[in-house]
């Protein structure tokens, strides 16, 4: 246990203000994740355009008394706070964790590599659970901040640590190595992922290898020759390199592999011992990851027999939290593969972002966690659930049920207890789930997948998967390109460019976007009904919608004198004094907006109007195109001139904005007070075709309904347009033009993606189905997923084939295609 003075001492920090000494149990880097004010130490971290120091007063209000800062802070109003200054708060967080790490001598395994880190860590956790009490990184907490927070979880009860380290540029690994100080190193592989931050693959490998300086044993496999040579050259005295592979020199030698559809049989040799293992996987990646784990187990002295037993129970792990549509208007978050405190916290954070239903429910099992008595543990669980605004708790398992009284003391509005999952299922009808957001969180042995299967709505076999992490990355990428003080309006019109509505708005609201904009009033109303409280600008309003607009506090764009007058009349009748509105100015797009010639109208009408002008804006017609930069500049000049003139009339400050996605990055000097980020959020920027730092957010996946073999002379589809001239195998997939797959992509114009291969369409696209030509492909089966666009096949490629732009493809995907939201 550390006190704040201990921490000041460890860090050699300078006291800005010293108050009562106190115990530090929790390290806090994100003010939104505050749970235990009294025992938390807040690290004020500056990153991008977020400055942690600005949250200090609010945290103080919530009871936090310990702060670490790297800037001078005004201490008025913070009289009872301990405030310690250090030059760099991230380094300080790392130093505290490194110090903590040195207090323990049990074995620690450090895992790095390009792919598979999290899976290997989670699998090792499952495989080694029978022998050790394990502390591990929650999910993929492997960054400069995630690693120290993970290592901080170590306590005296643990017997083994599993920590992963991820880096994205040169110079980052040393800090992580100093914190983890692994005795056993695991290197999964070197892949192409995350290469931007490195000059070469060698440099990337060199950097990753720094994790292993303190290792006695390094576990990996034979890879490309240059990698093998590099690795061999880096082994130091006192280190043992242990590898698997089919190479004759391999420590775990793969003699044969025979793969079946969902499994593989291996003949192996390890230290003179020959044995066979049957693995419940057949893909290359799963085999590689499981062999890595097997070699770790062998090195820890676990026998092949015991390994076989454990590995048969191994299951594919979902690395992500998914939000799905459920029965009776519920939303369901299925996290039923593990239950421990740190993953519970992550899942609860995800739950608390969801505002669509006022009722939040958690179904939670007994929690196998060490280091606490069970009373302390469930006290903690109850506090966490309460803190995250959960109203209904359904506990499953003998232990949690025994501690029901603890939960009762917290005043949850509904509590239900079952000693086993079967009992819950027997009472299913009485549980009456309706219009609530439900988190399903259970330890493996409780088989909560049986519960989530009943809760989730059966979906059409074509789904659009929305990667919320990718969206956040994209948001951050643009936030980092904003001039200081520039605000960000996120465009969520047209169902957030096809990717959803309230789910996306929830995320953006949670991550501090300033404004939202939609095209039509009903889109704004839907967001308000789903609990979105950010200001929302509506770009295209009409009198029949004025009532709803005002009722839901939506802010219209006024773009013409007639709209100005009709809305002013409406607001006067309602008797509202200062209704927030936005003015759109015409500068060259020639779509909507006041012309400069209407300045006299505005000059006459604005002073006595019932409006509060929130912002004045215009829209660029060709911000992405260098050929039109002179025109863009003219638009900006007209905007400046017009909006300056309005400043004279309006007399109070309002926001000015003109840039959309491509403008933000190409013309940073014209960001004014706010920018309007649209398609960039969703992973595409026309100004960055080629090597884009953005990640595509949506992946549209369908499935194969049937496979057929055809002979010359036959034909495929309507109008017999798919002519067969040689023996051909086709597959019918569950997507058609009614789903938004353009008909122009038929007859081989469009291609789809099956397990890394491009497959052309054959015949015309039908309303609900399309046929593809799979001739010559091995192992295609009915039910296989086929990607329409997204991971592996950029939407820009598909739009190019269709002769259109990504905007049209994304927004054209029909609402009958279910969306699944996930967080990795």
Binding of residue 660 to ligand PLP (CB under 6 A): yes
CA 268 and chain centroid, separation:
39
From first CA to last CA, the distance across the chain in angstroms is 32
Contact between 79 and 63 (Cβ < 8 Å): no
Binding of residue 676 to ligand PLP (CB under 6 A): yes
Cβ closest to ligand PLP, residue 714 vs residue 808: 808
Among 243, 528, 619, 666, binds ligand PLP (CB under 6 A): 619
- The distance of closest approach from Cβ of residue 659 to ligand PLP in the complex, given in angstroms and rounded to an integer, is 8
Cβ closest to ligand PLP, residue 134 vs residue 679: 679
Cβ closest to ligand PLP, residue 108 vs residue 488: 488
Of 364, 383, 386, give the one whose Cα is nearest residue 375. Answer: 383
Among 68, 382, 490, 679, binds ligand PLP (CB under 6 A): 679
- The distance of closest approach from Cβ of residue 678 to ligand PLP in the complex, given in angstroms and rounded to an integer, is 2
- The window from 119-127, 674-682, 705-713, 740-748 that contacts ligand PLP (CB under 6 A) reads 674-682
Does 591 appear as a known binding residue? Answer: yes
- The distance of closest approach from Cβ of residue 679 to ligand PLP in the complex, given in angstroms and rounded to an integer, is 4
Does 589 appear as a known binding residue? Answer: no
Cβ closest to ligand PLP, residue 587 vs residue 823: 587
Among 140, 587, 661, 699, binds ligand PLP (CB under 6 A): 661
- Bridge partners of 252, per DSSP, are 244, 270
List binders of ligand PLP among 516-555 (CB under 6 A): 539
- The window from 111-119, 386-394, 675-683, 769-777 that contacts ligand PLP (CB under 6 A) reads 675-683
Binding of residue 656 to ligand PLP (CB under 6 A): no
Q: Strand, coil or helix: what is 353?
A: helix
Task: Give every strand in the sheet of 240-245, ordered side by side.
Answer: 134-136, 160-164, 108-112, 184-187, 217-221, 240-245, 252-259, 264-270, 273-279
Strands 487-491 and 515-518: parallel
Alpha-carbon distance 403 to 409, whole Å? 11
Q: Strand, coil or helix: what is 655?
A: strand
- The distance of closest approach from Cβ of residue 685 to ligand PLP in the complex, given in angstroms and rounded to an integer, is 8
Cβ closest to ligand PLP, residue 683 vs residue 742: 683
Alpha-carbon distance 497 to 788, whole Å? 17
Radius of gyration of the chain (CA): 29
b/e 557-579 (16+ beta carbons within 10 angstroms → b) = bbbbeebbebbbebbeeeeeeeb
Number of residues that bind ligand PLP (CB under 6 A): 10
Cβ closest to ligand PLP, residue 417 vs residue 478: 478
- The distance of closest approach from Cβ of residue 810 to ligand PLP in the complex, given in angstroms and rounded to an integer, is 10
- The distance of closest approach from Cβ of residue 684 to ligand PLP in the complex, given in angstroms and rounded to an integer, is 9
DSSP class of 761: B
- The distance of closest approach from Cβ of residue 470 to ligand PLP in the complex, given in angstroms and rounded to an integer, is 16
DSSP class of 293: H
Contact between 531 and 435 (Cβ < 8 Å): no
**Token pair recorded at residue 308:** 């076989």
Length of the chain: 824
Alpha-carbon distance 811 to 797, whole Å? 16
- The window from 566-574, 678-686, 698-706, 761-769 that contacts ligand PLP (CB under 6 A) reads 678-686
Binding of residue 678 to ligand PLP (CB under 6 A): yes
How many CB atoms sit inside 10 A of residue 490's CB? 26
CA 773 and chain centroid, separation:
34
Contact between 401 and 419 (Cβ < 8 Å): yes
- The window from 338-346, 544-552, 627-635, 670-678 that contacts ligand PLP (CB under 6 A) reads 670-678
DSSP class of 424: H
Q: Strand, coil or helix: what is 115?
A: coil
Cβ closest to ligand PLP, residue 182 vs residue 498: 498
DSSP class of 596: G
Q: Write out the catalytic residue numbers.
A: 493, 718
Of 734, 703, 697, give the one whose Cα is nearest residue 821. Answer: 697
Mention every residue, 6+ apart, whose C-beta is less than 8 A from residue 233.
none
Task: Give every strand in the sheet of 14-17, ordered side by side.
Answer: 14-17, 82-85, 66-69, 40-43, 26-28
Cβ closest to ligand PLP, residue 56 vs residue 538: 538
Helix 374-387 crosses helix 341-353 at what angle (to 10 degrees)?
Answer: 10
CB burial of residue 327 (10 Å; 0-12, 13-18, 19+) = middle
Binding of residue 556 to ligand PLP (CB under 6 A): no
Mention every residue, 6+ apart, whose C-beta is less than 8 A from residue 298.
252, 270, 304, 307
Contact between 121 and 136 (Cβ < 8 Å): yes
Cβ closest to ligand PLP, residue 128 vs residue 677: 677
- The window from 121-129, 261-269, 346-354, 676-684 that contacts ligand PLP (CB under 6 A) reads 676-684
Q: Strand, coil or helix: what is 258?
A: strand
Cβ closest to ligand PLP, residue 110 vs residue 683: 683
Alpha-carbon distance 157 to 430, whole Å? 41
Cβ closest to ligand PLP, residue 126 vs residue 660: 660
- The distance of closest approach from Cβ of residue 676 to ligand PLP in the complex, given in angstroms and rounded to an integer, is 4
Alpha-carbon distance 332 to 356, whole Å? 12
- The distance of closest approach from Cβ of residue 660 to ligand PLP in the complex, given in angstroms and rounded to an integer, is 3
- The distance of closest approach from Cβ of residue 677 to ligand PLP in the complex, given in angstroms and rounded to an integer, is 6
Among 491, 536, 538, 745, binds ligand PLP (CB under 6 A): 491
- The distance of closest approach from Cβ of residue 57 to ligand PLP in the complex, given in angstroms and rounded to an integer, is 34
Binding of residue 593 to ligand PLP (CB under 6 A): no
Alpha-carbon distance 795 to 805, whole Å? 9
Binding of residue 763 to ligand PLP (CB under 6 A): no
Residue closest to ligand PLP, measured at CB: 678
Q: Give the residue numbers of the binding site.
A: 591, 767
- Which positions make up the binding site for substrate? 591, 767
Binding site for ligand PLP (CB under 6 A): 491, 539, 619, 660-661, 676-680
């Amino acid at each position: 246990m550390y006190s704040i003075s201990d921490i000041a001492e460890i860090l050699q920090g300078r006291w800005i203000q010293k108050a009562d000494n106190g115990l530090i149990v929790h390290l806090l880097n994100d003010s939104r994740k505050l749970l235990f004010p009294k025992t938390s130490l807040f690290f004020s971290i500056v990153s991008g355009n977020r400055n942690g120091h600005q949250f200090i007063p609010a945290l103080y209000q919530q009871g936090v008394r310990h702060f670490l800062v790297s800037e001078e802070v005004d201490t008025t109003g913070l009289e009872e706070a301990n405030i310690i200054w250090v030059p760099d708060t991230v380094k300080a967080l790392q130093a505290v964790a490194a110090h903590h790490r040195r207090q323990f001598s049990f074995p620690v395994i450090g895992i790095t590599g390009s792919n598979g880190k999290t899976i290997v860590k989670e699998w090792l956790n499952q495989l080694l659970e029978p022998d050790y009490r394990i502390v591990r990184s929650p999910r993929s907490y492997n960054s400069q901040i995630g690693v120290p927070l993970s290592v901080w979880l170590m306590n005296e009860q643990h017997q083994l640590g599993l920590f992963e380290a991820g880096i994205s540029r040169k110079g980052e690994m040393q800090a992580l190595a100093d914190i983890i100080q692994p005795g056993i190193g695991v290197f999964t592989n070197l892949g192409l992922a995350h290469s931007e931050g490195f000059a070469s693959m060698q440099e990337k490998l060199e950097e990753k290898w720094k994790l292993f300086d303190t290792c006695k044993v390094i576990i990996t496999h034979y890879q490309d020759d240059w990698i093998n040579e590099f690795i061999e050259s880096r082994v130091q005295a006192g280190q043992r390199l242990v590898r698997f592979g089919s190479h004759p020199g391999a420590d775990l030698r793969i003699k044969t592999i025979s793969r079946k559809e969902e499994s593989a049989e291996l003949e192996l040799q390890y230290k003179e011992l020959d044995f066979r293992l049957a693995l419940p996987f057949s893909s290359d990646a799963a085999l590689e990851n499981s062999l890595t784990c097997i070699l770790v187990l062998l090195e820890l002295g676990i026998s092949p027999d015991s390994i076989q037993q454990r590995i048969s129970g191994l299951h594919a792990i979902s690395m992500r939290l998914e939000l799905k549509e459920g029965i009776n208007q519920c939303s369901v978050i299925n996290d039923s593969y593990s239950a421990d405190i740190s993953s519970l916290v992550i899942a609860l954070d995800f739950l608390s972002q969801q505002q669509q239903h006022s009722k939040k429910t958690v179904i939670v099992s007994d929690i196998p966690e060490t280091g606490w008595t069970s009373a302390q543990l469930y006290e903690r669980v109850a506090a966490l659930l309460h803190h995250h605004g959960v109203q209904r708790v359904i506990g499953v398992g003998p232990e949690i049920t025994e501690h029901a009284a603890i939960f009762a003391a917290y005043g949850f509005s509904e509590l239900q207890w079952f000693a086993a999952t079967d009992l819950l299922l027997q009472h299913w009808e009485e549980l009456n789930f309706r219009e609530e957001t439900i988190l399903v969180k259970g330890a493996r042995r409780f088989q909560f997948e049986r519960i989530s299967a009943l809760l989730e709505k059966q979906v059409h076999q074509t789904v659009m998967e929305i990667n919320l992490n990718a969206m956040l990355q994209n948001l951050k990428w643009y936030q980092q390109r904003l001039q200081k003080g520039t605000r960000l309006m996120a465009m969520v019109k047209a169902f957030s460019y096809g990717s959803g509505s309230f789910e996306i708005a929830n995320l953006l609201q949670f991550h501090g976007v300033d404004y939202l904009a939609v095209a039509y009033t009903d889109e704004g109303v839907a967001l308000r009904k789903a609990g979105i409280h950010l200001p929302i600008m509506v770009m295209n309003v009409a009198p029949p919608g004025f009532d709803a607009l005002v009722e839901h506090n939506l802010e219209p764009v006024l773009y013409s004198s007639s709209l100005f007058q009709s809305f002013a009349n409406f607001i006067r009748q309602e008797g509202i004094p200062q209704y927030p509105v936005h003015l759109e100015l015409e500068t060259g797009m020639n779509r909507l907006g006041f012309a400069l010639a209407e300045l006299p109208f505005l000059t006459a009408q604005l002073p006595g109007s019932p409006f509060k002008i929130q912002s004045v804006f215009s829209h660029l017609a060709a911000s992405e195109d260098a050929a039109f930069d002179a025109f863009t500049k003219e638009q900006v000049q007209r905007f400046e001139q017009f909006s300056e003139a309005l400043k004279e009339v309006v007399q109070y400050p309002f926001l000015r904005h003109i840039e959309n996605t491509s403008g933000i990055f190409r013309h940073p000097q014209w960001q004014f007070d706010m920018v309007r980020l649209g398609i960039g959020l969703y992973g595409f920027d026309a100004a960055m075709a080629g090597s884009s730092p953005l990640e595509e957010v949506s992946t549209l996946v369908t499935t194969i309904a049937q496979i057929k073999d055809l002979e010359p002379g036959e034909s495929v589809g309507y109008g017999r347009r798919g002519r067969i001239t040689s023996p051909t195998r086709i597959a019918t997939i569950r997507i058609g033009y009614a789903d938004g797959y353009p008909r122009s992509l038929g007859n081989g114009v469009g291609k789809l993606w099956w397990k890394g291969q491009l497959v052309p369409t054959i015949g015309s696209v039908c309303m609900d189905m399309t046929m593809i030509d799979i001739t010559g492909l091995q192992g295609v089966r009915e039910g296989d997923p086929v990607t329409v666009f997204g991971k592996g096949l950029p939407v820009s490629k598909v739009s190019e084939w269709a002769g259109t732009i990504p905007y049209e493809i994304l927004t054209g995907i029909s609402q009958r295609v279910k969306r699944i939201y996930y967080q990795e």
